[in-house]
Amino acid sequence: MNRRGFLAGAASLTGVVLTGCTPPDNSNVLRAVMHADLQTLDPVVTTIGIVQRHALMVYDFLFGRDADGTPRPQMVDSWTVSENRLDWEFQLRGGLVFHDGAPVTTRDVIASLRRWGARDAYGRQIFAVTEDLRALSDDRFIWQLNKPYGLLLHALSKTGGPVAAIMPERIAMTSPTTSIEESVGSGPYLFDTAAWVPGAKVVYRRNPAYVPRAEPPNATAGGKRVYVDTVEWINIRDPQSAVLALANGEIDFVENPSPEFLPLLRDAGVVIQRSDTLGFQGMLRMNHLHPPFDDRRARQALLYLIDQERYLQAMFGDPELSNACNAFFVCGSPLESQAGVPDGIGKNRDKAKALMQASGYDGRPLVILHPTDIQFMNLATLVLADDLKSIGVNVDLQAMDFGAMGSRRVNRSAPQDGGWDLGLTYWPGGNVSDPVGNVPMQANCDLAWPGWPCDAEHQAMIDAYPFAPDDRSRRELADKIQVSAYDLVPYVPIGQWFAPVAFSPRISGVLSVPGSTAMWNIEKGPYRPV
């Protein structure tokens, strides 16, 4: 559907939404429509955002982050760091119990950290300088480094990419290349496996054994207090249907309401809440393994082809929800920069065409992964197809839902054999705002995120970033990394946007969580601001 057709559909709902009222709901069930369907469960093997949200429901973490991005203790009660910053000793807080009734011990923590460290960009760096990681008792462990690592707590508290979720040792011993099929954590909700119907519904139950921290809730930090008995994620992929369900009181919460409907929802008394200042970074990812994008000239061609403003207009329409941003580490972050941005970026189709021809592109159809269940991604992919056709590229749009795209893009086969050439996606701005956290920036070949960029010099700068002696040195190095990225082109930024959530006035306590969504602290009852 194009934007004009979508707007017409929105207009047809106006009478329904504006004349509706939210009926009372005496149940203690929170019904939500999330941005994507949950199809897999492993928050270490995949970087799919919906799986990380699932992890926040089920698991607990050693550290969380407050709304300002500062790491705060969560499962940890206290910790000490040696003067040389090499020895970190952690004490777990009391009352930590897994959903299967077993107590959480440091054996579980260490096994979980090792599995996470084999897949995560921060984790690989940390374990490369790890001298020892061992239990001192069932509730105390020590992490000894041979080189200070300035981002340790930052890495343990992140909510995007592979996350350091603590799971039982028996599950954490699963190979980091094999997806787990059992979700047992110690977090605020229990995953109801029997009630899970992929493509239809995900169900979570309140964990009666969970003991929240005493501090007030603050993003993923502080006390995770659960007031509802059940959370249901209802899979409604049509954005009009989701909005209508919210306006009619059939559901309570929509994670990513389509921008066209925001004025109508406000008029209906629905609460619209913006999550964070860094929003999301959109990106066009290309497969570096196969022609034509194994040649950097083909990747550079896309820099001159992709006009961010054109994409953002098609995706959102509302300039208050988005802005063009050429900073790989996102606008508004401490590392925002214009270093290396080429002249004519996004505005030179003749150069894009010439570079594509110089790369040896032979006219083969390029396989574009086309997620149709997230409307703004659907619209952006249609714009991409038009752009490529305008410079003489043949395209093969292959429609699928966003979850299926996540499964498809790990396929390294040639595009004609089930692989792919191009795909659009997006990451939370807070997670890509430094060179290590920006997982798609990594160029470590077989270890890289799907697309598999491979460049030793570029990767060496990223690997050096956490070991820079001070903030100024890290900033200078980040600028050099961005210059390198505009030559290598691991991906093309397609802009920055700020996705609000929408929820019924019959619920309250919805927290702002940068880059993610939390379902604790929510109560059924008249709306009150947090």
Domain containing 64 — which CATH number? 3.90.76.10
CATH of the domain at 331: 3.10.105.10
- Both 130 and 141 in one domain: the answer is yes
Which residue segment(s) compose the domain that 360 sits in? 280-497
Residue 266 pLDDT: 87
Q: Identify whether 476 is part of a domain.
A: yes
Task: State the pLDDT confidence band at 7, using cuts at 50, 70 and 90.
Answer: very low
Residue 23's pLDDT is what? Answer: 64
Which token pair is 190?
A: 């229990």
Can you give the pLDDT at residue 17? 44
- Total number of domains in the chain: 3
| Whole-number pLDDT of residue 237 | 85
Q: Which residues contact 142 (CB under 8 A, 6 or more apart)?
A: 87, 88, 89, 90, 132, 133, 134, 136
Longest dimension (CA), the chain: 66
- In this structure, of 8-17, 64-73, 468-477, the range with the lowest mean pLDDT score is 8-17
What is the arithmetic mean of pLDDT over 259-263? 84
Flag whether 3 is in a domain.
no
Question: What average pLDDT does range 55-69 have in this prediction?
Answer: 94
**Domain match, 345 and 467 both:** yes
**Pair of tokens at residue 509:** 């306590």
Question: Are 378 and 488 contained in the same domain?
Answer: yes
Q: Are residues 523 and 491 in the same domain?
A: no
Whether 1 is in a domain gets the answer no
Comparing 445 with 2, the larger pLDDT belongs to 445
Last residue of a domain, one of 148, 179, 210: 179
- Residues 269, 127 share a domain: no
Q: Are residues 463 and 444 in the same domain?
A: yes
| 319-358 pLDDT, tens digit each | 878 999 999 999 988 899 999 999 999 999 999 999 999 9
Percent of the chain with pLDDT over 70: 94
Buried b (16+ CB within 10 A) or exposed e, 170-206: ebbebebeeebeebbbbbbbbbbeeebeeeebbbbbb
In a domain, 7, yes or no: no
Q: Give the end of a domain, one of 179, 198, 229.
A: 179
In this structure, are 405 and 453 located in the same domain?
Answer: yes
d(CA 294, CA 290): 5
Note whether residue 53 is domain-resident: yes
Whether residues 320 and 387 share a domain: the answer is: yes
Together in a domain, 300 and 262:
no
Position 509 pLDDT exceeds 80: yes
Q: What is the pLDDT of residues 67-108, one digit of tens each?
A: 888 999 999 999 999 999 999 999 999 999 999 999 999 999
Which pTM does this prediction carry? 0.79
Please compute the mean of the pLDDT values over residues 500-518 and round it to a whole number. 90
Confidence of residue 21 (pLDDT cuts 50, 70, 90): low
Residue 376 forms part of a structural domain? yes
Angle at 278 between CA 273 and CA 279, to 5 degrees: 55
3-class DSSP assignment, residue 91: strand
Q: Is the residue at 43 inside a domain?
A: no
- Tell me how long the chain is: 530
pLDDT score at 425: 94
Average pLDDT of every residue of the chain: 91
Mean pLDDT value across residues 151-165? 92
What confidence tens digit (pLDDT) does each residue in 24-43 have? 677 899 999 998 899 999 99
Radius of gyration of the chain (CA): 23
Residues 356, 225: one domain?
no
- Say which residue the tokens 């995900």 belong to: 202
Whether residue 12 is contained in a domain is answered as: no
SS3 116: helix
Choose between 22 and 514: higher pLDDT: 514
Residue 253's nearest CA partner among 232, 227, 284 is 232
Question: Which DSSP category does 428 fall into?
Answer: E
Range scoring the smallest mean pLDDT among 89-98, 164-173, 495-504 = 495-504
Q: Which of 179, 214, 247 is the last residue of a domain?
A: 179
Distance CA 260, CA 264 (A): 8
Mark whether 137 and 202 lie in a shared domain.
Answer: no
How far, rounded to the nearest angstrom, does the alpha carbon of residue 199 sit from its chain's CA centroid? 20
Instruction: Quote the pLDDT of residue 311.
Output: 97
Handedness of CA 48, 102, 89, 143 (dihedral sign): negative
Q: CATH number of the domain that 209 lies in?
A: 3.40.190.10
Q: What is the pLDDT of residue 420?
A: 98
Count other Cβ atoms within 10 Å, centred on residue 68. Answer: 11
Task: Tell me, yes or no, whether 381 and 442 share the same domain.
Answer: yes
Q: Which residues contact 362 (CB under 8 A, 6 or more apart)?
A: 291, 292
